[in-house]
Chains A and B, each alone.
Chain A
Amino acid sequence: DIQMTQSPSSLSASVGDRVTITCRASQSISSYLNWYQQKPGKAPKLLIYAASSLQSGVPSRFSGSGSGTDLTLTISSLQPEDFATYYCQQSYSTPFTFGPGTKVDIK
């Protein structure tokens, strides 16, 4: 199985901050990597697919980059509605594993 890790596991940031979350895979997954946002009590929401493609309707302050084993989600200017938990997920091979999540809260 491909193991996914995320760093940091949590962070505190202010509105307007630039935030970067890293996802690391235990083996190369090329660009087979998606990012989701989850708010308490809600289902996850797709933000980025195939490492760097922005899902329709998602604000352009979200971006994804990288390939291979190290991939990144960046929020260029954090907004109040962005405080949530973020998960990466690989679609390279079964089982389609998720990272443990990064919780972004208000400083």
Chain B
Amino acid sequence: QVQLVQSGAEVKKPGASVKVSCKASGYTFTGYYMHWVRQAPGQGLEWMGRINPNSGGTNFAQKFQGRVTITRDTSISTAYMELSRLTSDDTAVYYCARGVVVPAAVGFWFDPWGQGTLVTVSS
């Protein structure tokens, strides 16, 4: 079955960077965009950016431009999200999610999602 498995929880100090991995299985990794979405404690969902695993091309929300890097390793079907210059406001659960498109429908949607990775930023 299609599955995304993320790396484990992280605790980081302010100013540090964090890199979260997302390993895909059950489908052709290069055939679907991979997106990253985060959720601060008790808050809603926030889209951060995406990568085209085939080309490596990326798009980011303006809010994260210059601070987030999304990469992939097609040999192991894994995407990575690295966030730098962390502050306490970056404490959140970070999700990867596959972007699905079908010819008969408009747009795309996130399915499935990874289990989430809690990143805690604290001095």
Contacts and interface: CB of A to CB of B under 8 A. Distances in A.
Interface band, chain A: 20 to 34
A44 B45 contact: yes
Contacts of A101: 44-45
A62 interface: no
B107 A95 contact: no
Interface stretch (A16-24, A31-39, A69-77): A31-39
Contacts, number: 66
B110 A36 contact: yes
**Chain B binding surface, main DSSP class:** strand
A89 B59 CA distance: 17
A53 B61 CA distance: 27
Nearest to B62: A95
B106 A95 contact: no
Contacts of A49: 100, 105, 107, 109, 111
A97 B45 CA distance: 8
A46 interface: yes
Interface in B35-78: 35, 37, 44-47, 59, 61-63
B115 interface: yes
Interface residues of B, number: 24
Given A34-B110, A46-B111, A95 B44 contact: no
A107 B105 CA distance: 36
A91 B45 contact: no
28 contacts: A1-B62, A31-B107, A32-B106, A32-B107, A34-B110, A36-B45, A43-B112, A43-B114, A44-B45, A44-B95, A46-B109, A46-B111, A49-B100, A49-B107, A49-B109, A53-B105, A55-B111, A89-B47, A89-B109, A91-B107, A94-B61, A95-B47, A95-B61, A96-B35, A96-B47, A97-B47, A98-B45, A99-B44
Given A31-B106, A43-B112, A97-B47, 8 more contacts: A1-B62, A34-B110, A36-B45, A44-B95, A46-B112, A50-B107, A53-B105, A95-B61
Interface of A: 1, 30-34, 36, 43-46, 49-50, 53, 55, 87, 89, 91-92, 94-101
What are the 3 tightest A-B residue pairs by CB atom distance, in nearest-first order? A91-B107, A32-B107, A43-B113
